[in-house]
Structure 1
Amino acid sequence: MASTFSTAQLGITLSAISYLGQPNTNPERFTLMNTAITNTVASNWQIVWGPATQGEDLVYVASNGAGQYAVVVRGTLFDRIEDVIQDKSVSTQEALPFTASSFPNAQVSKGVVEVWTNINNMVSSVPGSGTGSLLSFLQNLSGSPSILVTGHSLGGQMATVLAAWFQSTLSNASILPITFAAPTAGNPAFASAFDSVFGSAMRYYNALDVVPRLWTMDGLESIKSLYPGGPQCGLICKTAVDDTVKSLQKADLTYTQPTASTSLPGQLYSTGWAGAFESEVNDQHRALYYMFLLGIPLATIQQLNATWAPPSQVASRSVG
């Protein structure tokens, strides 16, 4: 068990734990996730609300019992990056679905609004955990709580939006968003306001990860030649990228990432120029790999998945 975690290490570990128990019920996930938290973060951190689900989305809240909380949003469950790239919900932007005076003119993708609606409608009913909606639970916290808002992949994207929501509704709380592998949530006005409001926020991304390159134009185009010396984005992948770029250009939409960011130096699992692109994308995007890149010991990571290993400890998958 890790004795001391940095805020980033805490965030990525809690984010990785959100993926556990995918076929289970929420009460079963509650037990499984709490055990994982004890085995990785520390025994004083436990789930105090949720996990709650709506559609394909999941959120839980953990606390150390000393006024510190973490709102954790699970990321996308996907097998094919082309399916993610071709997500039509990014070709429409909408105003924030809540009042946030610090975010004038901010717009986010239609898909983000849909996920926020799911989260807003979640109700926790797990025995031993907090009940009611997420916002009502946080509003009823006593004192001046410190709230880390975090997630990996879609979870990181949504963490930026939830942070804006909480900042506008929780007058007694200190909000800190920390994200991992997050695609872009919204337009330049959203990113600019986010930078102004959350000066201590940080976005972590693996330089070899496709997902945090979504949905800026430069990021999308870079996918087509992402792995020099490794597997390449093929015809289906390139077509998905080109179609998305054309869709955004036609709608005259721009997506911008928040400014504060830290690039993590991933290494390729595969070598050669053909095949295995999907496998490489999945490997580079895993929350477990982000844990490793953030300096968490392999023995701790393997508490969540006993068979996972970094590229340096896996035989190179030669595809050339």
Structure 2
Amino acid sequence: MQRFFLGKWIIVVFLFVACSTNKKNQTTSARPVSAQEAILLNQLIYKTNLRDSVAKYAPEFEVVFLPKAVNGNLAFIAKKKDSNQYALVIRGSMIEFSKAGFQNFILQDFNIFTMKKWAYADSVKDAYISNGTAVGFNNLLELKDDATQLSIKDFIEQKIPTGSSVVITGHSLGGNLAYPLAGYLKKTLPAQQKLNLQLISFGAPAAGNAAFVQDMEEKFPTAERYVMDKDIAPLFPDMDKIAKVSALLGLDKVL
């Protein structure tokens, strides 16, 4: 897994991804959407009218999977027009005084003091994810597309052509949840449909223990993790590192 530290004022990331070919099936694999495209879609997921916002700000994409949120968690799938490139985008925490905000922050972000067994590991043993991550992950599994009533996994299996690329991406809590969702899809999708899964996260807090990280690195050796060099969120729940960054920012002083 590659980790990138972005300077405070740098907002554009250049990412080059090579195309690959599945010779056995003579199917040309689609190049994954770029990090620049992924981060734009991560911004748009907070918009009230998502379809119109994507049409306005990312007109090269169209929304093909759009459910109603489940207990504060939401994800959508966008397809890049005239291509077989897809992005599965997971919403981060809702920063507002609402039921969704409470569920995101209290039941997920800060629900880290107990762990749950990670059931989708390959060869790794004793992999665990935080209880809050498990709550959000299970909510994502319950999402059903309004048009087809298919779950995320069923939609990918039934509606996305073999050979297409699917980037699983999210920011903050969405990035945290991208890891178990990507790992689950990598474990459970049919062989030909999980070949071209990619993982890109932005400012994601830790989702599980070291064994879980190892499992994800084995599943996604080219995954991209982008963080700001003075962002506290990706350090969570490492309190020692948070304290060091807080001191650098002057947040350790009583006002």
Structure-2 change in CA distance of 1:76 and 1:102 (3 Å): farther
2:40 is equivalent to residue 13 of structure 1: yes
Distance of aligned partners of 1:193 and 1:134 in 2 relative to their CA distance in 1, 3 Å threshold: same
- What is the count of residue pairs matched by the alignment? 212
Give the AA of the match of 1:116: F
8 Å Cα contact 1:52-1:60 kept in structure 2: no
The aligned residue for residue 126 of structure 2 is: 105
Matched with 1:181 is 203
1:139 corresponds to 2:157: yes
Deviation at 1:88, TM superposition (A): 4.8
Partners of 1:163 and 1:70 in 2: how far apart? 12
Task: Please say if residues 47 and 61 of structure 1, whose CA atoms lie closer than 8 Å, have aligned partners that are also in contact.
Answer: yes
CA distance in 2, matches of 1:218, 1:143: 45
Aligned amino acid, residue 16 of structure 1: Q
TM-score by length of 2: 0.75
TM-score normalised over the length of structure 1: 0.60
Asked if 1:119 is matched to 2:140, the reply is yes
- Aligned partner of residue 155 in structure 1, secondary structure: helix
**2:63: which partner in 1?**
47
**Which string of whole-angstrom CA distances, capped at 9 and with x for unpartnered residues, describes residues 183-235 of structure 1?**
0001001112222221211111112222111012433332531415xxx2456
Instruction: Give the match for residue 58 of structure 1.
Output: 74
8 Å contact kept, 1:50–1:130? no
Name stretches of at least 5 consecutive residues in structure 1 with no aligned partner.
22-31, 236-273, 275-320
CA contact (8 A) 2:230 2:245 kept: no
Partner residue of 1:207 out of 213, 217, 229: 229
Task: Tell me the equivalent position of 1:26.
Answer: none
AA at the equivalent of 1:35: D
Aligned letter for 2:192? Answer: N
What secondary structure does 1:52 align onto?
Answer: coil
Unmatched runs of 5 consecutive residues or more in structure 2: 1-13, 16-33, 98-103
Q: Distance in 2 between matches of 1:48 and 1:158?
A: 21
1:150-161 → structure 2 map (5 Å cutoff): 150-161=169-180
User: How many percent identity over aligned positions?
Assistant: 27
Change (3 A) 1:209 1:88: closer
Q: Separation in 2 of the partners of 1:207 and 1:84? A: 23
Output the CA distance in 2 between the equivalents of 1:88 and 1:47.
Answer: 31
1:90 corresponds in structure 2 to 112
Larger RCO: 1 or 2 (CA < 8 Å, sep 6+): 2
Q: Distance in 2 between matches of 1:33 and 1:146?
A: 22
Aligned equivalent of 2:10: none
Give the aligned partner of residue 162 of structure 1. Answer: 181
1:282-308 deviation per Cα after TM superposition (whole angstroms, max 9, x unaligned): xxxxxxxxxxxxxxxxxxxxxxxxxxx
Matches of 1:103 and 1:118, distance apart in 2: 25
The answer to whether the 8 Å contact 1:149/1:178 transfers is: yes
User: What is the CA distance between 1:51 and its match in structure 2?
Assistant: 3.6
Alpha-carbon distance, 1:33 to partner: 1.9
Root mean square deviation, CA, Å: 2.5
Moved over 6 A (4+): none
